[in-house]
Structure 1
């Protein structure tokens, strides 16, 4: 039995919110996505099957709308607005990514829907939230990623900041929308019996997704400054991406009570493989940051340790490093290519990949 098999979701979204409906559908909910005449804007997004540009061949659209039902409604027409209200009358969740006050202007806002269906959970997704000074600002993935702080850590310090190539801001917001809707369903079932309105900001979602400097401020640590492949903290370069025999890995070599034990485990392996001596292996990794920042450990020695780790990684494949990470409790993840993901045995065994007809 599916988790959400008894629930209905009405999705009023394009690429800015369709991931939310997709996840809810994968959990078993009946998801009805409402498209305007001519189809959702997401149908215009490539790549296209067979390189044929058509509303029916957008792989982007099909990826995020599989498992849903679709209905075409022209919300500029009174009869279609009434039809939408009839749909929401029997729904549990509405995903609304139209933007602040768009539905209200049509007489379709949360107040109207909830008066007819008090148990309705209405999740609004917008760039900067439904209220506040930026609520009605125009926005793109670039501006949201910039204002949410992620771009401050991406790219080379001597060049302009970068964003992740594929749009991510509304993906973060859509994922948060799913979590919020599930919490609201739980509250409705176990407490009030009523729905509620959830107001989500993509800017806030991206900020929470990259907590490096948020956490640094909370613990009075120096902020991280972007440096390709890592970050710079108090003029000390902390490497996070490491070349290996067949590509790159993400390897966390950090210190303190939370992360120092993982570094100690790594250096034990590096020692066993003959890349360092006992003195290097046995450094005080829990307090190593304090030793560097206080000058008790020269930065040049820390740079030497990084070179040793780099030489060690260069002899191992991504798979070797990742598999051993589970055995030795290391913070390692492979930087996977699309081919790596497609051939991943774990994903294959779990049946992640589906063949669909377009």
Structure 2
């Protein structure tokens, strides 16, 4: 049993915050997903199992809702809000990702619910936070990644930036929110009181720029996008290099921290006959400074990069990875989906997990836990819940509502 299994989380999140509840559920908390009658709009996001649109067949829903129980409840109506307040009385945490002001308008904000349960940790995930000039702005992954900074590095140098292939802004925010919830719980152990956690996705993704957004403000050269790398002024620095059967990610950079790896690589490239000793023996520690100062012509850097490309093109991804392991080069393959699924490394760690879907008569392979614990391993206890799957279990078994009342609330569209 996990040390957090006694705790209960009410997950009121939209598609913005589903990962937060799943991380807490994976760690062992009892997460109850609260959806409107008919199911969360997130269930309508494809792709779908066997391409058949259905609330219980959304692969998007499956990806972010395992280990949760689920109930339906209409928070737009007084009777629905009354039931939620009863659930709040015995909850430890509540997650929501509605637009700022939505829940307070229905008397379900932190100040309202803290009166019912002063120990409640109330987690809000929004695009730009609960207040400020952008709090009510429309949002999308594209908008948040642009406002937070990472988008400036995505795409080709000669055209506007492009969105990332897989939306990531709310995944960053949800992971930050899960960590913040545990931090607030640590404080609650001391004080006995909950608190309101306000996570702005735009701030979460700004941290994903690895401080590059500070470059201009500090007078440094501001990084610019370049397909497969970055541009520092007029200097183009590749981060992706060709192999004979695909691509690799390789750090070919300079300075006291990384130049030593570049020097090691260039010695090997020379030994393999791809360059002369003069090229091999360049000052790879100071090489970046030489490029920025003009002491090393850009044309010479272009010649060096072509030497390195010729070397990487001469090997397969597997051969380059083997060299990296043997010799300490900063190289890793750019893997395909098939290579990830069939990865011997993942197999050795029992990463992928099989999870039965009895309602479909099938068992599916799921991506594995985000962390591996020796004493309390993450278990996939439940497949993602179907719409209202646990209504009777929670409303009758825990709140004590008689079957006749549950039937009446169902007919009325409250649950």
Range of TM-score over shorter length:
over 0.9
Higher relative contact order (CA 8 A, sep 6+): 2
Paired position in structure 1 for 2:367 = none
Paired position in structure 2 for 1:256 = 255
Q: Distance in 2 between matches of 1:269 and 1:192?
A: 59
- Going from structure 1 to structure 2, the CA distance change for 1:278 and 1:183 (only over 3 Å counts) comes to farther
- Say which is worse superposed, 39-48 or 88-97, in terms of deviation: 88-97
- Going from structure 1 to structure 2, the CA distance change for 1:101 and 1:240 (only over 3 Å counts) comes to same
Paired position in structure 2 for 1:204 = 203
User: What SS class does the counterpart of residue 355 from structure 1 fall into?
Assistant: strand
Paired position in structure 2 for 1:21 = 21
| Cα distance, 1:131 vs structure 2 | 0.5
Q: Distance in 2 between matches of 1:125 and 1:343?
A: 35
Q: Distance in 1 between matches of 2:314 and 2:53?
A: 45
| Cα distance, 1:140 vs structure 2 | 1.2
Q: Distance in 2 between matches of 1:67 and 1:37?
A: 20
User: What SS class does the counterpart of residue 215 from structure 2 fall into?
Assistant: helix
Q: Distance in 2 between matches of 1:29 and 1:293?
A: 53
CA contact (8 A) 2:230 2:237 kept: yes
1:130 equivalenced with 2:130 (yes/no)? yes
- Going from structure 1 to structure 2, the CA distance change for 1:28 and 1:321 (only over 3 Å counts) comes to farther
Paired position in structure 1 for 2:33 = 33
Paired position in structure 2 for 1:116 = 116
- Say which is worse superposed, 326-335 or 312-321, in terms of deviation: 326-335
Q: Distance in 2 between matches of 1:176 and 1:10?
A: 18
- Going from structure 1 to structure 2, the CA distance change for 1:325 and 1:183 (only over 3 Å counts) comes to farther
Q: Distance in 2 between matches of 1:100 and 1:198?
A: 13
Q: How many residues align?
A: 357
- Going from structure 1 to structure 2, the CA distance change for 1:120 and 1:296 (only over 3 Å counts) comes to same
Paired position in structure 1 for 2:311 = 312
Paired position in structure 1 for 2:351 = 352
| Cα distance, 1:283 vs structure 2 | 2.0
User: What SS class does the counterpart of residue 241 from structure 2 fall into?
Assistant: strand
CA contact (8 A) 1:212 1:224 kept: no
User: What SS class does the counterpart of residue 94 from structure 2 fall into?
Assistant: strand
Q: Distance in 1 between matches of 2:20 and 2:332?
A: 26
CA contact (8 A) 1:150 1:163 kept: no
Paired position in structure 1 for 2:334 = 335
CA displacement 1:309-337 (0-9 Å, x = unmatched): 11111122223323433443333332222
CA displacement 1:191-218 (0-9 Å, x = unmatched): 3332211111111111111235225347
Paired position in structure 2 for 1:60 = 60
- Say which is worse superposed, 127-136 or 257-266, in terms of deviation: 257-266
User: What SS class does the counterpart of residue 253 from structure 1 fall into?
Assistant: coil
- Say which is worse superposed, 30-39 or 176-185, in terms of deviation: 176-185
Q: Distance in 2 between matches of 1:103 and 1:19?
A: 20
CA displacement 1:70-94 (0-9 Å, x = unmatched): 0101001222212212222222221
- Going from structure 1 to structure 2, the CA distance change for 1:158 and 1:187 (only over 3 Å counts) comes to same
Q: Distance in 2 between matches of 1:255 and 1:215?
A: 20
Paired position in structure 1 for 2:170 = 170
- Going from structure 1 to structure 2, the CA distance change for 1:287 and 1:68 (only over 3 Å counts) comes to same
Q: Distance in 1 between matches of 2:284 and 2:329?
A: 14
CA contact (8 A) 1:188 1:194 kept: yes
- Say which is worse superposed, 165-174 or 87-96, in terms of deviation: 87-96
Instruction: Trace 1:180-219 onto structure 2 (pairs within 5 A).
Output: 180-189=180-189, 191-211=190-210, 213-217=212-216
Stretches of 4+ aligned residues off by more than 4 angstroms: none
Paired position in structure 2 for 1:242 = 241
CA contact (8 A) 2:21 2:95 kept: yes
| Cα distance, 1:3 vs structure 2 | 4.8
